[in-house]
Chains A and B, each alone.
Chain A
Amino acid sequence: MRNFLVRRLLLIVPMIVAISLIIFILLTLQGDPFHQLLMNPHVRPEDVQILMHNWNWDKPLPIRYFNWLKEFVVSTFAPRAGNGWGFSLLAPGTNARALILQKLPLTLALSGGSILLSIIIAVPIGIFSALHQYGFGDNVGTFFAFFGMSMPSFWFGIMLIIIFGLKLHWFPISGMHSDMLPAGGQLVDFYAAPWLARLVNRAWYMALPVSVLSLLGVGGWMRYTRSSMLEVVRQDYVRTARAKGAPESVVIRKHALRNALIPIITLVGLTLPGIVGGAMITEQVFALDGMGRLTLQAVLGNDMFVAMAILMIDSLLVLFGSLLADILYAVADPRVRYS
């Protein structure tokens, strides 16, 4: 296990470098971010010159890249006040890390909530589907799974806004919380309200976006649970459990389910990276100011260093997510041995 971990971690290093290089080159296709800064009337050209020199932007591409890489590594492992992964073009005066830390909580709440919700919905249905393979319930479950997988998320979001926001007025259609909340018989400022009222209010605002993000996940989780469960119920040890006379509920709960859930645990590690990509569309639909929107703004506005920082974090999530999946697999299933 230790050898395996060391080998995987060593393999991640060159991949990070390759990924950062590819992203860097793709982002520079959009043009020179400093040139854009020069056109901002609030910024003095001399300052831009100094900034360009500090970032080695007056030198050829490879030197620019290595300078950025050095800055990224330094500000990751030795963070100081001034060096948070590079400055922001669109929000002058701040740096990438400050921006990301500011937007991250919303996206984490959004995607954490939706991952939790989709697991709660999908796993029981997946198990039911597998136990009644090709039955009516299974067909309905499969239909629903494909329903979620085939749905363009932004359209689903817009439809929810039209139906539940504009027609029925059940849910707010954008924003993160109300400005004022009723407390003790009168309206008070949101931040002065009791925490429970704040939580309920936030949940009310998050209901539609979380539903949109969850629908996407539910289909995949359900199919995965189903096939994992189907595989397990055919195993010899399940037959043995039945043969020794264990009641069906015990066979399913103790012998089949526990083993079927192992691959599902690992899937959690593989869901992590989808967070930013999925949030990008959903946050855009519901006008939520989180990481997804920040990504879109940074990428479209050629906010080079902010975009680099976000995309690097996302890629690192992919790499460490799959490593985490492997580790979880070994932890949950003692038969798995890495060497």
Chain B
Amino acid sequence: MKEYTANEELKLREAPTETYVSNILRRLRRNRMGMLGLAMVFVVLVAVIFAGPLSFGKSPYAMLSPADLKPGQTTPEFMTPNRDHILGTDELGRDAWSRLLYGGRVSLLIGVVASLTSIFLGTFVGLVSGFYGGWFDNLIMRFTDTMMSIPTLPLMVVLAAVLKGGVLNLILILVVFGWMGDARLVRGVTLSLREQEYIEAARAVGASPWRIMFRHLLPNTAAPIIVSFSMSISSLIIYEASLSYLGLGIPQPTPSWGNMLYNAQNYIFSAPQLVWFPGLAIFFTSLGFNFFGDGLRDALDPKLKL
């Protein structure tokens, strides 16, 4: 064994300890695109969380009345960006900047909650199916395949038309058609881990199936799940916007990026600025989550393929 001098020993103690998490964080910090994505996501989160103060006291619902007009302004509707309304006003004379911020809240909420719920459901299905295997696994996976083969967008449209929009209903619709990918992913990992020695050891000491699934298998599926979470938020935000674009998203007057675009497309000749910003916001947010998710994947497991 090597003898350390007192000085060397001191140095060793001062050196930062390397842990699993610190390793990941170091790799993530080195990934420029990932950090860019994180910064973009951070900007969006700050903007929607502090929507109140950032909108300078303008309510997203208040319609400007002709009496409030300043000299030189003609109508309260379709104002171009100016000092009072930095993005102008929409077709009802509402402040577009304020609606953009509050709309982001709704869009992001739908994206995050729907993504989380799909992942919970998908992970549960995948874990149970992969762990028990046999005919049970076969049945569940055939059902998953069936759900995956169904054309998603047209049936989302049907469900949205039946359920009549609303935040909760929209989340439900996105989850119904969103859990299959995660279920397959988790099942795949579970199948490969199930035969490993530490699971056998857990069985040998008499751990119950649920304990094995949730204490021993679940933590090992964390890496792909986290990446899938980050990536799926962006696609769910786009899905929400697409449904809203078809007129089936969040009903007015609640703003969301999708329904702002839906309204604005009628005025692309007269007020194209109303189309630019909600779309740009969706694009910026989903780009951020995609960059971050990609960086996270490289940091968590360079070999991982998603």
Listed in ascending order, the chain A residues whose CB lies under 8 Å from chain B are 11, 14-15, 18-19, 22-23, 26-27, 29-30, 139, 142-143, 146-147, 149-156, 158-159, 161-162, 166, 227, 273, 276-277, 280-281, 284, 295-296, 299-300, 307, 310-311, 314-315, 318-319
Given contacts A152-B238, A158-B268, are A315 and B154 in contact (CB under 8 A)? no
Using a Cβ cutoff of 8 Å, how many contacts connect chains A and B?
A: 126
**What are some 18 contacts across the A-B interface (CB < 8 A)?**
A11-B142, A15-B146, A22-B147, A27-B158, A29-B158, A139-B33, A150-B286, A150-B290, A151-B283, A153-B242, A161-B268, A162-B275, A276-B151, A277-B154, A296-B154, A296-B246, A307-B154, A311-B154
Q: Chain A contact residues: over half helix, strand or loop, or mixed? A: helix
Of A147, A166, A277, the residue contacting B152 (CB under 8 A) is A277
B152 neighbours in A (Cβ, 8 Å): 277
Which residues of chain B from 263 to 303 have a CB within 8 Å of any chain A CB? 265, 268-269, 272, 275-276, 278-279, 282-283, 286-287, 290-291, 294
Nearest CB on B from A268, distance (A): 18
* Contact across chains for B242 and A23 when beta carbons are under 8 A apart: no
Chain A residues within 8 Å of B287, by CB: 146-147, 150
Complex Cα spacing A26 to B177, Å: 13
Residues 228-248 (chain B) with a chain A CB within 8 angstroms: 234, 238, 241-242, 245-246
Taking A15-B142, A146-B287 as contacts, is the C-beta distance between A159 and B279 under 8 angstroms? yes
Q: Is B21 close to A, CB under 8 A?
A: no
Separation in Å of the B242 CB from the closest CB of chain A? 6
Do most interface residues of chain B lie in helix, strand or loop, or is the interface mixed? helix
Complexed CA–CA distance, A26 and B291 (Å)? 36
Tally B residues with Cβ within 8 Å of A. 43
Residues of B within 8 Å of A23, CB to CB, are: 150, 155
Measured between beta carbons, the chain B residues less than 8 angstroms from A155 are 241, 261, 275, 278-279, 282-283
From B242, B275, B276, name the one whose CB has the most chain A CB atoms within 10 angstroms. B242
For the complex, give the distance between the alpha carbons of A134 and B175 in Å: 36
A96 to chain B, nearest CB (A): 14
Assess whether A152 is in contact with B242, with CB atoms less than 8 Å apart. yes
Using known A-B contacts A19-B150, A139-B33, determine if residue A299 contacts B157 with beta carbons closer than 8 Å: yes
**Chain B 177-214 interface mask (CB, 8 Å, partner A; 1/0):** 00000000000000000000000000000000000000
A315 to B154, CA, bound (A): 12
